[in-house]
Amino acid sequence: MGRIGNIINRKGKQDAQRAKIFTKHARAIAVAAKEGGEDPEYNAALKAAIDKAKADNMPNDNIDRAIKKGAGAGAGEDYENSVYEGYGPGGVAVIVDALTDNKNRTAGNIRYYFDKNGGNLGTTGCVSFMFDRKGQILIAKSDDVSEDEIMEAALEAGAEDFVTEEEGFEILTTVEDFSAVRDALKEAGYEFLSADIKMLPQTMTALDDEAQHKQMEKLIDMLEEDDDVQDVYHNWDV
């Protein structure tokens, strides 16, 4: 299963947790608005957070409330970004991106999730060197989407790479060119499964042991269910 298949699988699971997903998006939007202003045209982080929320069908009213909350200094809430790195079962590399108002609580919870599922939380830098920070846009295949046309549009807009998978198309960009490529494809009428700056693994790790497979699945589920966790990146070859 490629990256697009993984995204479709995770989205299906997240449908049952939509309220929790909206809460995470609201937090990210509020933090971005607080740090860079409430106009997404002049705040790239806010624009990206809004786009992610809309991709998960977050209502506009919820988005507007989150922006106002952030612009009003968050009613005393003070969230900061924390990144955790570690190994899952079988040596799978894992990066956890969190927004938290209590680093001790978040670190303790994440350490527990790793320990409970055959992994261990490591030190900063222990696995991040195995990932590249890239812009990634995923578009599902359909009768209305021409591979040649979308590839041409993406490359002309400045995309770095174009990959065809069974379920759709993956467009990769540098961090600097991501917004331009995303906006060009959006203006051309393409709908995204996801569009974001992500940590993409350079190599993948397979798990042949069924018990480790279940542990890794449970580890990802527990991390994603945590209110403080925004994104989970790994190099598990599902």
- CATH number at 140 reads 3.30.70.980
pLDDT band at residue 194, thresholds of 50, 70 and 90?
A: confident
Q: How far, in Å, CA of 74 to CA of 238, rounded?
A: 39
Please give the average per-residue pLDDT across 35-64, as a whole number: 89
Are 152 and 189 found together in one domain?
yes
Spatial CA neighbour of 135 closest among 204, 52, 229, 227: 52
Are 125 and 215 found together in one domain?
yes
Are 125 and 206 found together in one domain?
yes
- pTM of model > 0.75: yes
Are 103 and 206 found together in one domain?
yes
Residue 182, pLDDT score: 92
Residue 1, pLDDT score: 56
Range of the domain at 67: 3-76
- In sequence order, the 6+-apart residues with CB closer than 8 A to the CB of 105 are 228
Q: How far, in Å, CA of 235 to CA of 201, rounded?
A: 5
Check if the beta carbon of residue 68 is closer than 8 Å to that of residue 62: no
Residue 143, pLDDT score: 86
CA torsion through residues 54, 57, 58, 59, sign: positive
Are 188 and 214 found together in one domain?
no
Are 224 and 106 found together in one domain?
yes
Residue 13 has pLDDT above 80, yes or no: no
Residue 211, classed as helix, strand or coil, is helix
Residue 19, pLDDT score: 79
Please give the average per-residue pLDDT across 144-162, as a whole number: 94
Residue 8 has pLDDT above 70, yes or no: no
Are 149 and 192 found together in one domain?
yes
pLDDT band at residue 17, thresholds of 50, 70 and 90?
A: confident
Please give the average per-residue pLDDT across 153-177, as a whole number: 94
- In sequence order, the 6+-apart residues with CB closer than 8 A to the CB of 212 are 89, 90, 118
Residue 62, pLDDT score: 93
Spatial CA neighbour of 63 closest among 28, 20, 34, 16: 28
Please give the average per-residue pLDDT across 46-70, as a whole number: 90
Q: How far, in Å, CA of 128 to CA of 110, rounded?
A: 17
Residue 173, pLDDT score: 97
Check if the beta carbon of residue 179 is closer than 8 Å to that of residue 213: no
Q: How far, in Å, CA of 137 to CA of 196, rounded?
A: 7
State the residue for tokens 């995309």. 159
Please give the average per-residue pLDDT across 142-170, as a whole number: 93
Are 142 and 207 found together in one domain?
no
- In sequence order, the 6+-apart residues with CB closer than 8 A to the CB of 237 are 204, 205, 206, 207
Per-residue pLDDT reduced to its tens digit, 105-138? 999 999 999 999 999 999 999 999 999 999 999 9
Mean pLDDT of the chain: 90
Q: What pairing do the DSSP bridges indicate for beta strands 205-206 and 236-237?
A: parallel
Are 21 and 104 found together in one domain?
no
- The region that residue 76 occupies, defined by phi over 0 for left and psi between -120 and 50 for alpha, beta otherwise, is left
Count of domains observed in the chain: 3
> What is each CA distance from 52 to 25, 46, 77, 120, in whole angstroms?
8, 10, 22, 29
Are 211 and 159 found together in one domain?
no
Are 72 and 87 found together in one domain?
no
pLDDT band at residue 238, thresholds of 50, 70 and 90?
A: confident
Burial track 114-151 (b if 16+ CB lie within 10 A, e otherwise): beebbbebbeeeebbeebeebbbbbbeeeeeeeeeebb
List the single range of 6-15, 124-133, 166-175, 181-190 with lowest mean pLDDT.
6-15
